[in-house]
Amino acid sequence: MLMICITRKHQLVMSNRQLPCLETYLDKALLYLWPRFKTVFDMYLQSLYRCDVKMLSVDGTRPHHIVRCYVEFTASLVQLNAECGDGQLDMSLERLRLAVDDLLVRFAEKFATPKLQHLFLLNNYDMAISILKEAGEEAKKLQRYFEEKLECNLISFVDELLMEHFGDLIKFVKIHICKLKKTVAQVHVIVVTHRKKTENDSFVFLAEDLISYTEPPNIADVEPVVKNFAVKWKNALELMHNEVVTCCSNLLSGMAILKAAMAQLLNDYNRLSECVKMIPGGSSLNRNLVSITSISYEIRKYSRTL
C-alpha cells in the first residue's frame, strides 16, 4: 500500500511538471501492485478467521495485543486510503472490520461469565476508539461503529454488574415495577379526569385507582429487598467502584461505566421506594428505606475519587 501511494505521488508530481515520459511505466506499476496488495490482504483476513483463540493467551480483560495490531493496521490503511486509495480499499476495509469484530467476539467467549465477556469487549473497543481517533477524520466512520459497540456492551456490563451486587433489587424491579409503566399512563388519565373535583379528592381517587389497577406486591415480597439493601448498599458500592477501577484499562471509560451503573441503581431504588408507598402497610418499612439523598451523596463521592 505504501508503494501504491508513492507511485501515485510520483504520478502527481510528473503531471504537475507536465512530464508524461513515465506515465506508462507508473500505470503498469499500479496495475501490478493492486492485485498483489489484495492477495496479501486476503491472507491477513484468512489468518484472522483461521486464528484458533484457544491456543492464544489472554491477559485478563485487558485489550489483546493481536487486536491492537489489527486496529493499528486498519487505522494505517484508512489514512492511506484517504490519500491515494481512490476508493478501491473501501470494501476491503469493511471486510477487515468484520474480521476484527469476529476475532474479538471469539476471544470474549473464552471468559466464563457474561460480565467478564462484556468487560473484555469494552476494554478492546475503547482501545480501538483511541487508536482510530489518532487516525483523524478519515477514520470517523469506523470510530463511530466501535463507539456504538462500546455503548451496547456498556449497558450489558452495567446490567451484569448491578445484578451481581444488587440482584434482589434488580429482579424485583424487573418483575414488579416495570409492570406499572402501562398502568401509570392509565392512572394519569384518571387523575386528569378527577381534577375537575377538589385537589384532595384527586389524591383519594389516585390511591384507590393505583390499588385496583397495578396489583402491587404484598409486604412480604418487598420487605426482604428493602432490608437487604439497607444492610449492604454502602459496601456493595465500594466493591463496584474497586472492580471498575481495577478492571478498566481506561480511566475515562471506567468513570462512564461507574456513573451509568450508579445512575441506574439510583433510578431502580427510587422505583422501589415509590412501590413501597403504594403497598398497604408499606409505611412500616419507612425506617428501613435509605434516603435518595444519602445514596446520591455516596455516588458523588465515588465519582470524585475515580
1 with 134, same domain: the answer is yes
Is pLDDT at 100 greater than 70 in this prediction? yes
Percent of the chain's residues with pLDDT above 90: 31
Split at pLDDT 50, 70, 90, the class of 209 is: very low
What is the predicted pLDDT for the residue at 193? 32
What is the predicted pLDDT for the residue at 191? 34
Residue 152: φ, ψ to 5°: -60, -45
| 99 belongs to a structural domain | yes
20-55 pLDDT, tens digit per residue, is 898 999 999 999 999 999 999 999 899 988 988 888
99 with 224, same domain: the answer is no
Given 138, 160, 182, the domain boundary residue is 160
What is the predicted pLDDT for the residue at 189? 33
127-146 pLDDT, tens digit per residue, is 999 999 888 888 888 889 99
Distance CA 95, CA 91 (A): 6
| Angle, alpha carbons 68-72-73 (nearest 5°) | 115
Is pLDDT at 124 greater than 70 in this prediction? yes
Cell numbers standing for residue 291:
434516603
211 with 265, same domain: the answer is yes
What is the predicted pLDDT for the residue at 66? 87
| 53 belongs to a structural domain | yes
What is the predicted pLDDT for the residue at 188? 34
| 168 belongs to a structural domain | yes
248 with 223, same domain: the answer is yes
129 with 277, same domain: the answer is no
User: HSE (CB half, 13 Å, CA atoms) of 183?
Assistant: 17
Most confident of the ranges 86-100, 142-156, 289-303 = 142-156
Is pLDDT at 199 greater than 90 in this prediction? no
What is the predicted pLDDT for the residue at 85? 60
Split at pLDDT 50, 70, 90, the class of 216 is: low
| 30 belongs to a structural domain | yes
65 with 170, same domain: the answer is no
69 with 103, same domain: the answer is yes
3-state secondary structure the chain: CHHHHHHHHHHHHHHHCCCHHHHHHHHHHHHHHHHHHHHHHHHHHHHHHHCCHHHCCCCCCCCCHHHHHHHHHHHHHHHHHHHHHCCCCHHHHHHHHHHHHHHHHHHHCCCCCHHHHHHHHHHHHHHHHHHHHHCCHHHHHHHHHHHHHHHHHHHHHHHHHHHHHCHHHHHHHHHHHCCHHHHHHHHHHHHHHHCCCCHHHHHHHHHHHHHHHHCCCCHHHHHHHHHHHHHHHHHHHHHHHHHHHHHCCCHHHHHHHHHHHHHHHHHHHHHHHHHHHHCCCHHHHHHHCCCHHHHHHHHHHHHHHC
| 60 belongs to a structural domain | yes
249 with 277, same domain: the answer is yes
What is the predicted pLDDT for the residue at 135? 84
Number of domains the chain is built from: 2
The arithmetic mean of pLDDT across residues 73-93, rounded, is 81
Distance CA 56, CA 128 (A): 20
131 with 167, same domain: the answer is no
Is pLDDT at 194 greater than 50 in this prediction? no
- pTM of the predicted model, to two decimals? 0.77
165 with 295, same domain: the answer is yes
What is the predicted pLDDT for the residue at 178? 52
Q: Of 295 and 280, which is predicted with more confidence?
A: 295
The arithmetic mean of pLDDT across residues 67-80, rounded, is 88
What is the predicted pLDDT for the residue at 230? 92
The arithmetic mean of pLDDT across residues 73-102, rounded, is 83
| 114 belongs to a structural domain | yes
Q: Write out the residue range of the structural domain in which residue 63 sits.
A: 1-160
Least confident of 109-113, 114-118, 159-163, 215-219: 215-219
| 199 belongs to a structural domain | no
What is the predicted pLDDT for the residue at 83? 75
151 with 178, same domain: the answer is no
137 with 63, same domain: the answer is yes
Q: What mean pLDDT is reported for the chain?
A: 81
